[in-house]
Amino acid sequence: MRFPWASYEVIKYAFSVYANLKNKDNEKLKCLFYIALASIVITKNLFYFGVMNQVTQEYTLKKQDFYTKQFSHPHPLVRIFNIIDYFRDNIKDDFPTMEIDSQELFNNVLGISNLYFDNLIPNQNAMQLFVQDIKDNIDEIYRYNQELYDFAIKDKSIKKLLKKRRIKF
């Protein structure tokens, strides 16, 4: 499923930074993509772990229980998972000569995110919780995403929008 359109703007921004570099190579571009995707994952995780809008300087993790249909929007883990997939798919489509491995992408994004959260919330292992939550819920995330996809491609207005944006589905 390739619907997180705002993420594409982040890809475009990362490429615009790359375009201004004097010395260019695929590894530098990959690193910019890792940083760009990590910025999105970090932002989503700030909400997931409930550290946004806390009034004290000492942040504590208050993660949301996993859900699929309780609210009108997907759970942050579902969103993060979709954004990572979308980002990877777009890099493969837009930069076909760039070899980018899914695990390599995930590991680098996780590493950058881990650096951020280790400094923001020391001694709370936020990214270990994140990885464990993905492991615990991956099958449900896949099932829910398939359900969303099946619904979306049957909806006439969504189909029209996808075709207009030339999005593969």
Please check whether residue 83 lies inside any domain of the structure. Answer: yes
Please check whether residue 116 lies inside any domain of the structure. Answer: yes
How many whole angstroms separate alpha carbon 32 and alpha carbon 139? 30
Please check whether residue 156 lies inside any domain of the structure. Answer: yes
Please check whether residue 35 lies inside any domain of the structure. Answer: yes
User: Do 133 and 66 form a contact (C-beta atoms < 8 A)?
Assistant: yes
Q: What is the pLDDT of residue 1?
A: 43
How many whole angstroms separate alpha carbon 143 and alpha carbon 89? 19
User: Do 18 and 24 form a contact (C-beta atoms < 8 A)?
Assistant: yes
Instruction: Tell me which amino acid residue 15 is.
Output: F
For the chain, how many structural domains are there in total?
A: 1
Q: What is the pLDDT of residue 2?
A: 44
Q: Which helix (H) or strand (E) holds 150?
A: helix 126-154
Q: Which residues have CB under 8 Å from 99's CB, separation 6+? A: 26
Position 4 pLDDT exceeds 70: no
User: Do 30 and 98 form a contact (C-beta atoms < 8 A)?
Assistant: yes
Please check whether residue 36 lies inside any domain of the structure. Answer: yes
Please check whether residue 142 lies inside any domain of the structure. Answer: yes
pLDDT band at 136 (very low <50, low <70, confident <90, very high): very high
Please check whether residue 169 lies inside any domain of the structure. Answer: no
DSSP code at position 70: S
Residue ranges making up the domain that contains 120: 5-164
Query: In percent, how much of the chain has pLDDT > 70?
Result: 92
